[in-house]
Structure 1
């Protein structure tokens, strides 16, 4: 009797083909390796930056190579007190002075903190602006705290349309340019002091005028400029080693404290590190730590803003923080055309990005800075 042929179960053939199918699928879904980095991108990062060197080099490179982050001119990354990445665009270098634009506001905020610590000013008393001291003038109720937190209530329009009607443009470049503080201080109230938050470059010039008045009774422009400049140099810039910084003054001798200071990227990083260390440098407490805490604490009318300093928290109406990837505890100095100093104490991190990106197009730049921050772990609580 002839033996019946052996039949393989019908599912054997598909099983035999399975490894090939899996391999084929793996080949199709395997991501392409990223393109090699340019030599300049690699050399911008130190050998042992504390995170993966290539990842940091790629994150920094994104700020220089992506069209949406143009034009980046300088990036400095400081971790645990040392520069771990530094790169410049064509035509710029470590000795180039970069304009602060509104990053200067945070410097002015620290200046006011020094004067408060000296007992020359008081945070919750009405400010000594002569034009507001006439009987019955409601502006006489404005406090230093309210000015610092952008809650003065003074009439103001920042970055309006048309641009030449914006109050900060008029103050800086048009009818107010020769006596900026007087121009800003002449504005009436549009809200009760303290009740409304409104970003205002003019408010910071008022603070700079108050600082000058706290140091000298002279109205001579040269004397006002000399006294305030000497105070800034001796109490802040020299101890920080910010040798490159050049503040600008108007014709009345008032510091243009809301927008015009010039310094190298490294010196802007030094200022960020000073803030990260709560007002201390090389063991010396230049301004009380509590003042830096005040500047970086949300004010009552805007959870995303402290006192002359931005916080990494959503602005009213926004869902995302300004720098996704950075901790909520981070804060920043922000300036016109995309100047940023991001400070993250929880990570021991300061990131400086300087350049020229049109206002309204900063989101890709902030996202790229956030990607740099996301590479660095938070420090363990002690």
Structure 2
């Protein structure tokens, strides 16, 4: 997969100060032609209001840099805007949004009968007699409750497990680094967000798709499967996935696609695995991905949910948006927000640091809340 809510009380508290500064209510600057051109005439929400909220997302100070925004309503593009230097052909890095793509790939392998959700996984290192990691199931990996030792965001950064895996001693064979970790909790007992866990899932997919240990063969097997079963049917032609030196998909962090293609992926999830009448994955798998796990009401199967500490990851912010909304979320403010109740997918791509991100998400949710639930 990172943000949500300025409370109404806090907003109202500002009114006396504003009134003291002036007897005249503040007036928004006229919308520019570029701001209006970003929104379709029939956008499914009040056009001027939508244009205003999108313009604020791109221009307000303190929100970071929004580089791309795509709003899809009812299956069509309702609004689309890019910052200078970016356009509809630009590929944007996923960061942790890739985790949700990896979960779909695993679901297809389960549907094919090549993996089982509640059986121990085909990881040779763990399947030795007496190794307690042999009890870890696919479900537990998907729900981030494997029990493996992990630190996602350490201080200093080089103490972080995912930094070591991605950029330091684990970078050439990321799955080897990730699967070598000992247990720090009983499998299934606790939630711990882990980019390394998703690399383990990607390695499992490679092991299922080929017996070869040759890096190029492993890479081709996974890449061909993703392209044939997911990217090509969704017309996600821009998608480029990265692999490590051992041919393992970097499934938790590094996929690149245009904003429109990230929107297509969100629409695929919104329609529970269906695209233009073709059911690419069983509906029940998407329902599994978007249902809370036993150890985290805010997280499903490699997917963030709109519950406390979920999409916003901040318990101090009030809930906003439908409870059924879910998201693929990435580092520095990458979002594919999906709201089935509003027939809505919103993609925001850019760069917001830790301080900017909560405010940016509030603005993004202002856009979401212009759309009624149906």
With normalisation by structure 2, the TM-score equals 0.92
Question: Contact 2:64–2:357 at 8 Å: present in 1 too?
Answer: no
Aligned to 2:373, what secondary structure does the other structure show?
coil
Q: Is the 8 A contact 1:302 1:315 kept in 2?
A: no
Report SS of the residue matched to 1:132: coil
Matched length: 351
1:100 and 2:126 correspond = no
- Cα deviation digits, residues 209-240 of structure 1 (max 9, x gap): 00011111110000000111110010000000
> Does 2:157 match 1:160?
no
2:25 corresponds to which of 31, 53, 56: 31
Q: Does the 8 Å CA contact 1:123/1:143 hold for their aligned counterparts?
A: yes
Deviation digits for residues 271-309 of structure 1 (CA, Å, limit 9, x no counterpart) = 000000000000000010000000000111111111100
Work out which of the two has the higher radius of gyration on C-alpha atoms and give 1 or 2.
Answer: 1
Whether 2:237 is the aligned partner of 1:281: answer no
Report the counterpart of residue 3 of structure 1 in structure 2: none
- 1:58 matched to which residue of 2? 52
Contact 2:103–2:301 (8 Å) recurs in 1:
yes
The corresponding residue for 1:318 is 315
Query: In the aligned structure 2, how far is the partner of 1:144 from the partner of 1:294?
Result: 13
Q: CA RMSD in A?
A: 1.4
Where does residue 254 of structure 2 map in the other structure? 260
Preserved CA contact (<8 Å) 1:62 1:69 = no
SS in 1 for 2:256: strand
**Does the 8 A contact of 2:64 with 2:356 survive in 1?**
no
**What's the CA shift for 1:173?**
0.5
Superposed CA offset, 1:356-377 (max 9, x none): 1113531112111111110000
1:119 equivalent among 110, 113, 126? 113
In structure 2, the residue matched to 1:205 is 199
Q: How much has 1:106 moved relative to structure 2?
A: 0.1
2:332 aligned with 1:337, yes or no?
yes
Runs of 4+ in 1 over 4 A off after TM superposition: none
Deviation at 1:33, TM superposition (A): 2.8
Q: Is the Cα contact below 8 Å between 1:325 and 1:373 reproduced in 2?
A: no
Q: In structure 2, what is the Cα distance between the partners aligned to 1:68 and 1:293?
A: 36
1:294 aligns with 2:288: yes
5+ residue gaps in structure 2?
A: 1-18
Asked if 1 retains the 8 angstrom alpha-carbon contact of 2:64 and 2:353, the reply is: no
Q: Which has the higher contact order (CA 8 A, sep 6+)?
A: 2
Aligned 8 A contact 2:133 2:183 in 1: yes
Matched, 1:349 2:355: no
Are 2:329 and 2:336, in contact at CA under 8 Å, matched by a contact in 1?
A: yes
- Return 5+ residue gaps in structure 1 as ranges: 1-24
Give distance in 2, aligned partners of 1:305 and 1:207.
17
What is the SS of the residue equivalent to 2:125?
Answer: helix
